[in-house]
Amino acid sequence: MIKEVDCIGEMEISEEVYYGIQTERARNNFDISGTTIGQMPEFIRAIAEIKKAAAIANAKIGKLDQDVANAIANAADEIIAGKMANMFPLDVLQGGGSTSTNMNVNEVIAKRANEMLTGHKGYNKVHPNTHVNRAQSTNDVIPTAIGIACYRYAEKLRPSLAQLTESLAQKAEEFKDIVKASRTCIQDAVPITLGQEFSGYYTFAKRNLALLDSMLAEPLELPLGATASGTDLGTFEGYMEAVFVELKKVTGINVRQKENLFDGLQQGDEYVRLSGYLKGLATGLGKIATDLRMMSSGPRCGFQEIILPSVQPGSSIMPGKINPVIPELMNQVCYQVCGNDMAITMSVEGGELDLNVWEPVIIKNLAEEFTLLTGGIKKFTELCIDGIQANRERCESFAEGTMANATVASALLGYPKGTEIAKKAVAEGKTVKQVIKEMGLFSDQEVNKLFDPLMMTDWKESSKIISQEEIKAK
């Protein structure tokens, strides 16, 4: 054990670890959630990248010895590569606006850099505040790191969303000629094709993929350089320009400084917008998952219009029961994302004066939203969407049987007559087509043409045929 000293007093720290006294205090103070900052590797990586960029920038303007800057950069590279993930034991929820997180990274880099230069841990050559944190404050480092981390999480989400989009496009094409009954208010409605239904799902996914691409294409605006309150106090001449040049090189991301650094520290509306996008994606995916559960319900006593892949037994007591576990998983992911969005919204609104200190809640929940959606969408696509089969016979029987087919009769003969036909069909347990034939309202050839469910799904064809019959009726 070695003794370390801070403004509060002394504490013994294990010689085996690279973090120091401030990290150890915070480790004991905030151990509540079971989630550590080390479990958010993109966040830790982003902080390390900021430290590296700042060290190089400070050396370039002559405010940091080159050997110290090189050691800091090399130590940061190890963190970026994930080599010291177990050195970040702090609970993600913590007081102090993430000062503890910033100092955890500062201490680890300082001790490792010192070890590189002197052969032993310590701060005699590289100090966590004096050198690693030079020209920085927790207040500008953390929101900058959140921005970089979220960009990377978005990059990871993209392949999953693109995969889902392609799978839904394929299903829309595969099911394009399978006619079924639509349902509105969970009641029988007019015929559509299963492919049309899936085309709606595909377009939703495609739209959200395009939104994600547009966000990734925009320059990433960051408040680095604001230091404590937006005044850049503690930086040196030339640092602002140099640090963003280096940050762009280190991260490989098109970054630039925020137009107004006071705004950059005060507000978090960009977090709300980003979480809002993820919530919008989640609500749509949850709706699709619910639809698939309903359409596959059965197999004997439900809709059974589609057959989902069987991935595991569904009951501990009922033999042969198979549950739609993957759509259910997707639903749960979506519920959690929506809950996280509320926590983010409250945390952003709860900021006060010149800093939002609730950023631990913000990054925890954003990281979880991205992680859940990235993994959940991939499972949803590969274990469910890709393997969906259509029950053509069942779909077509519903299309023939829906009372909403009387809509065609209503368009030609008036709403009262259409209502009479529908009520008669319900009372006698017959199809609309059977009732119309019995009533002799049209010839058999006209009935077969006018009340063909597949024809009704094509608005151009149906409007043309209905118009022709209306002219003949006149």
**Residues annotated as catalytic (active site), given as ranges:** 315
Q: At 402, which amino acid appears?
A: T
Distances (CA, A) of 284 to 204, 296, 335, 339: 7, 18, 11, 15
Phi, psi of 10 (to 5 degrees): -105, 160
Task: Tell me whether the omega of the peptide bond preceding residue 299 falls within 30 degrees of 0, making it cis.
Answer: yes
Query: In terms of Cα–Cα distance, which of 240, 246, 209, 206 is closest to 226?
Result: 240
Query: Dihedral sign, CA of 45, 24, 358, 110?
Result: negative
Do the strands 220-222 and 187-193 form a parallel or antiparallel pair, or are they unpaired? Answer: unpaired
How far is the C-alpha of 126 from the C-alpha of 114, rounded, in Å? 5
Q: Indicate the DSSP class of residue 309.
A: P
Enter the tokens of residue 354. 């010149």
Query: In terms of Cα–Cα distance, which of 277, 153, 159, 271 is closest to 221?
Result: 271
Distance of alpha carbon 260 from the chain centroid:
28
How far is the C-alpha of 75 from the C-alpha of 48, rounded, in Å? 9
Locus of tokens 């989630």: 35
Q: Compute, in degrees rounded to 10, the torsion defined by CA atoms 354, 357, 363, 366.
A: -70
